[in-house]
């Protein structure tokens, strides 16, 4: 028996070591750091809850709240588009239209492009003068709609979200499609025989039976929305667009911790406190996710 | 009313022909089975009647209504055909309780709450599931789920009900029980039933008529008795019950038709009657006789002799194997003299069928 344990440890310890060094340690270090003030080099000064005060009630409060609201907006729009559109497209693909297989692949392709590259690509597409988007609009006679999408307060954030949807939709379509195809065709045929039409079958049979998948995806979307950074950074930089209109907690953190043009003093401790804030939002939802997965595994 | 008529119905998937030219008239209130081995086309035919598969050729009438015609380009979708269907895997919706499952067809038709409740409870009592309304499918046994499926099909009060091997997933005892229940309900309500099964005992027990299919073609259409006593070809004879096949050669001799076994022509010839076959009395035939129609007698009482090779006591019958020349046939005896392995016996054929 002790031999088995030794082998077990041999396999576990390297992984645990990596995990501890790269995940556990930085996590706790950040937590501790949030109670200090530290310009990145030199010594740390203990400041207690001062960082959090600055964030929530002090000079950063307005920016924090602004960024937070943007994350919420991200989440709501993503739910609507990724899950809503995802469901519609998955339904179409499930109904065995000709070319469904090809379309499935096409929908997924953007998902394979690294996020930063997506940001870069779309940065070019959205260029007001030479970008593809405005060129296309002019081509179909909608030139009046052509505008600097990323340069206007009203459109910047929504544009970034749409780019995100473009990139990730394929994934959600595939997951939802798998859930729909999981439903035994008998269940759907029985509904037809009982007189139900496509609309009724979609909402009374397919949706209830795929609901748990939507729930899981919604949780993942929540976690994603509050961790968002790459696309915003790639498209509008760390200054986060005109008047901080695309600022999210991720970019706020980056600015606060590492600085950027015109962002005031660099303070890693303050940055750390932003990450603590993000962590506090995301953690309960992550726990909920794990709980739901466990519950399903236990009853499976 | 609730007749079902199939005219020239065929289905092919590309090159593969799975249903070949079926013409059939199912009478009102009839219990008709589609019987056959796996892959014979019975389920596909049923699905075409339901509207889940589109025929390649032919027409389907339900009642007076033409619901499908390839030539006239008519196709009524399943939700508008007003047939009830019971699936092999029950197809009860897991996210609804028993009441909601059974009430679903009524809900679609926007039936009033009171009427809905009345009809659902009535049909649940018919299938003996009273009191189970609030249970969910995962809390029910297989047999109970099947009865929910049955109730759901009945609650619509359809003219025609289609059952696709509904009892295959149940254990033997439950299967027999459900056979009686289904037949009983059908008689009481007077609904036309089309029943798909590969189990010939089931088809024989329940059907008014049986349509026996093999390789996409109709082998025989008739009552259970027709199929058993007067099979029209070798496949039917073989599929239903037990039977012995012996090759014989037939020739006329002195105004009598005599047959000898092809594999052992040295054995004495015996007389056969070719009247019902409508064939000339020359040439090779297949002599088909059921084990219970072969009588074993003392060797002196018959010109046909054989030797008992095996004997099995099964309680109600004795199962013999008897060697006839180079062939071996199976004989079932429920009464009369007993013989032992090694003994020479005489054989008398009480009833037989001849095939070319």
Chain B nearest CA to A202, separation (Å):
14
| C-alpha–C-alpha distance, residues B272 and B182, integer Å | 43
* Position A43 in a domain: no
- Establish if B76 touches chain A: CB-CB under 8 angstroms: no
| C-alpha–C-alpha distance, residues B288 and B351, integer Å | 9
CB contact under 8 A, B79 and A194: yes
Nearest CA in chain B to A200: B108
pLDDT at B310: 93
Nearest CA in chain A to B104: A194
Backbone dihedral angles phi then psi of residue B74, each to the nearest 5 degrees? -110, 135
Mean pLDDT of successive 10-residue segments in chain B (356 residues)? 90 91 94 93 94 94 92 92 92 93 92 92 91 92 92 91 92 88 89 94 94 93 94 93 90 79 79 72 85 91 88 92 89 88 90 86
Q: What is the largest CA-CA distance in chain A?
A: 77
- The highest-confidence range among A71-85, A239-253, B261-275, by mean pLDDT, is A71-85
List chain B residues with CB under 8 Å of A183.
none
Q: Look over chain B and give the mean of its residue pLDDT values, rounded to a whole number.
A: 90
Contacts of B324 (CB under 8 A, 6+ apart): B246, B261, B264, B267, B304, B306, B347
**pLDDT tens profile B100-143:** 999 999 999 888 999 999 999 999 998 889 999 999 999 999 88
Smallest Cβ–Cβ distance between A193 and the set B78, B89, B94 belongs to B78
pLDDT at B281: 67
CB contact under 8 A, A190 and B105: no
| C-alpha–C-alpha distance, residues B319 and B242, integer Å | 12
Residue of A236, A262, A223, A254 whose CA lies nearest to A79: A223
| C-alpha–C-alpha distance, residues B118 and B28, integer Å | 27
| C-alpha–C-alpha distance, residues A88 and A191, integer Å | 20
Length of chain A equals: 300
List chain A residues with CB under 8 Å of B85.
189-190, 193
Task: Give the dihedral sign, CA A56/A62/A63/A67.
Answer: positive
pLDDT at B278: 66
**pLDDT tens profile B136-194:** 999 999 889 999 999 999 998 898 999 999 998 888 888 888 898 899 989 888 899 99
pLDDT at A260: 62
Q: What is the DSSP string of B247-282?
A: EEEEEEETTEEEEEESS-TTSPPEE---GGGT--S-
Task: Give the dihedral sign, CA A104/A109/A110/A114.
Answer: positive
pLDDT at A261: 57
List chain A residues with CB under 8 Å of B46.
none
Q: How far is CA B9 from the centre of its chain?
A: 20
- Establish if B166 touches chain A: CB-CB under 8 angstroms: no
The single residue listed with the structure tokens 């004495």 is B268
What is the mean pLDDT of the segment spanning A241-247? 75
What is the mean pLDDT of the segment spanning A80-85? 92
| C-alpha–C-alpha distance, residues B66 and B217, integer Å | 23
Q: Looking at residue B139, what DSSP letter applies?
A: G
| C-alpha–C-alpha distance, residues B356 and B350, integer Å | 20
What is the mean pLDDT of the segment spanning A179-198? 91
What is the mean pLDDT of the segment spanning A160-170? 90
- Please give the residue that has the higher pLDDT: either A43 or B52: B52
- Establish if A2 touches chain B: CB-CB under 8 angstroms: no
| C-alpha–C-alpha distance, residues B323 and B246, integer Å | 12
- Please give the residue that has the higher pLDDT: either A2 or A291: A291
CB contact under 8 A, B79 and A187: no
CB contact under 8 A, A195 and B80: yes
Beta bridge partners of A45: A37
* Position A97 in a domain: yes
What is the mean pLDDT of the segment spanning A31-56? 82
Domains in chain A, number: 1
ipTM over 0.85: no
Does pTM top 0.95 for this prediction? no
**pLDDT tens profile A97-115:** 777 788 888 888 888 888 8
Question: Roughly how many angstroms between the first and final C-alpha of chain A, as a whole number?
Answer: 31
Q: Look over chain A and give the mean of its residue pLDDT values, rounded to a whole number.
A: 85
* Position A239 in a domain: yes
Chain A nearest CA to B104, separation (Å):
7
pLDDT at B260: 83
| C-alpha–C-alpha distance, residues A53 and A45, integer Å | 16
Nearest CA in chain A to B47: A189
pLDDT at B255: 73
* Position A150 in a domain: yes
* Position A174 in a domain: yes
| C-alpha–C-alpha distance, residues B246 and A249, integer Å | 88
* The Cα angle at residue A146 between residues A141 and A151, in degrees rounded to 5: 175
- Establish if A192 touches chain B: CB-CB under 8 angstroms: yes
| C-alpha–C-alpha distance, residues B46 and B267, integer Å | 49
* Position A55 in a domain: no
Contacts of A38 (CB under 8 A, 6+ apart): A44, A45, A267, A268, A269
What is the bridge-based pairing of β-strands B318-324 and B4-13? Answer: unpaired
* Position A18 in a domain: no
Chain A nearest CA to B159, separation (Å):
13
* Position A171 in a domain: yes
pLDDT at B122: 93
Contacts of B116 (CB under 8 A, 6+ apart): B103, B106, B107
**Three-class SS of chain A:** CHHHHHHHHHHHHHHHHHHHHHHHHHHHHHHHHCCEECCCCCCCEECCCHHHHHHHCCCCHHHHHHHHHHHHHHHHHHHHHHHHHHHHHHHHHHCCCCCHHHHHHHHHHHHHCCHHHHHHHHHHHCCCCCCHHHHHHHHCCCHHHCCCCCCCHHHHHHHHHHHHHHHHHHHHHHHHHHHHHCCCHHHHHHHHHCCCCHHHHHHHHHHHHHHHHHHHHHHHHHHHHHHCCHHHHHHHCCCCCHHHCCCCHHHHHHHHHHCCCCCCCCCHHHHHHHHHHHHHHHHHHHHHHHHHHHHHHHHC
Question: What CATH number did the domain enclosing A163 receive?
Answer: 1.10.3720.10
Buried b (16+ CB within 10 A) or exposed e, B311-322: beeeeeebebbb
CB contact under 8 A, B152 and A209: no
List chain B residues with CB under 8 Å of A193.
50, 78-79, 81, 83-85, 153
Give yes or no for a contact between B25 and B5, defined as CB atoms under 8 angstroms apart: yes
What is the bridge-based pairing of β-strands B327-333 and B160-164? Answer: unpaired
pLDDT-based confidence at residue A237 (cuts at 50, 70, 90): confident
pLDDT at B320: 93
Give the structural domain span for A204: 60-299
- Establish if A197 touches chain B: CB-CB under 8 angstroms: yes
Nearest CA in chain B to A190: B91
For testing contact with chain B, the best of A183, A193, A300 (most B CBs within 10 A): A193
Nearest CA in chain A to B93: A187
pLDDT-based confidence at residue A2 (cuts at 50, 70, 90): low
pLDDT at A80: 93
CB contact under 8 A, B87 and A197: no
């Amino acid at each position: 028996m002790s031999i088995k344990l030794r082998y077990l440890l041999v396999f576990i310890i390297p992984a645990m070591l990596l995990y501890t060094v790269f995940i556990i340690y930085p996590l706790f270090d950040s937590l501790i750091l949030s109670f200090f003030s530290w310009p990145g080099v030199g010594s740390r000064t203990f400041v207690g809850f001062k960082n959090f005060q600055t964030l929530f009630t002090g000079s950063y409060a307005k920016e924090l709240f602004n960024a937070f609201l943007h994350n919420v907006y991200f989440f709501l729009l993503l739910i609507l588009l990724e899950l809503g559109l995802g469901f519609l497209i998955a339904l179409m693909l499930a109904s065995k239209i000709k070319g469904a297989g090809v379309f499935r692949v096409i929908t997924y392709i953007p998902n394979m492009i690294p996020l930063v590259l997506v940001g870069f690509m779309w940065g070019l597409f959205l260029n007001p003068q030479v970008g593809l988007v405005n060129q296309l609009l002019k081509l179909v006679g909608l030139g009046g709609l052509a505008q600097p999408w990323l340069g206007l307060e009203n459109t910047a954030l929504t544009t970034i979200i749409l780019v995100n949807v473009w990139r990730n939709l394929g994934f959600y379509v595939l997951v939802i499609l798998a859930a729909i195809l999981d439903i035994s065709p008998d269940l759907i045929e029985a509904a037809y025989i009982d007189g139900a039409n496509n609309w009724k079958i979609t909402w009374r049979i397919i949706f209830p039976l795929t609901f748990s998948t939507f729930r899981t995806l919604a949780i993942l979307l929540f976690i994603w929305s509050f961790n968002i950074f790459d696309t915003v950074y790639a498209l509008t930089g760390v200054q986060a667009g005109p008047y901080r209109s695309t600022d999210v907690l991720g970019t706020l953190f980056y600015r606060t911790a590492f600085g950027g043009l015109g962002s005031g003093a660099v303070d890693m401790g303050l940055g750390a406190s932003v990450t603590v804030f993000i962590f506090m939002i995301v953690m309960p939802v992550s726990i909920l996710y794990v709980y739901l997965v466990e519950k399903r595994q236990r009853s499976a | 009313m609730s007749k079902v008529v199939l005219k020239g119905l065929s289905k092919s998937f590309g090159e593969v022909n799975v249903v070949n030219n079926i013409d059939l008239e199912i009478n009102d209130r009839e219990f008709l089975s589609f019987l056959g081995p796996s892959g014979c086309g019975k389920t596909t035919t049923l699905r075409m009647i339901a509207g889940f598969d589109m025929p390649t050729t032919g027409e389907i009438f339900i009642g007076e209504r033409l619901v499908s015609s390839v030539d006239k380009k008519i196709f009524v979708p399943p939700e508008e055909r007003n047939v009830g269907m019971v699936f092999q895997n029950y197809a009860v919706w897991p996210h609804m309780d028993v009441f909601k499952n059974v009430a679903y067809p009524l809900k679609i038709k926007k039936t009033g709450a009171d009427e809905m409740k009345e009809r659902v409870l009535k049909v649940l009592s018919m299938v003996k599931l009273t009191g189970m309304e609030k249970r969910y499918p995962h809390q029910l046994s297989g047999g109970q789920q099947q009865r929910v499926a049955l109730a759901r099909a009945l609650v619509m009060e359809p003219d025609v009900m289609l059952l696709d091997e509904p009892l295959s997933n149940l254990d033997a005892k439950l299967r027999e029980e459900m056979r009686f229940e289904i037949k009983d309900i059908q008689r009481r309500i007077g609904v036309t039933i089309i029943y798909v099964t590969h189990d010939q005992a089931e088809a024989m027990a329940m059907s008014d008529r049986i349509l026996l299919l093999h390789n996409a073609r109709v082998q025989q259409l008739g009552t259970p008795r027709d199929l058993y006593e007067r099979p029209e070809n070798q496949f039917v004879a073989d599929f239903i019950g037990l039977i012995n096949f012996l090759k014989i050669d037939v020739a006329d001799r002195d105004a009598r038709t005599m047959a000898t076994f092809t594999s052992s022509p040295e054995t004495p010839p015996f007389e056969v009657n070719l009247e019902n076959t409508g064939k000339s009395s020359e040439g090779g035939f297949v002599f088909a006789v059921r084990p219970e129609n072969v009588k074993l007698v003392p060797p002196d009482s018959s010109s046909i002799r054989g030797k008992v090779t095996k004997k099995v006591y099964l309680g109600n019958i004795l199962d013999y194997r008897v060697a006839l020349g180079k062939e071996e046939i199976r004989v079932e005896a429920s009464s009369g003299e007993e013989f032992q392995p090694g003994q020479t016996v005489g054989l008398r054929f009480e009833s037989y069928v001849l095939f070319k």
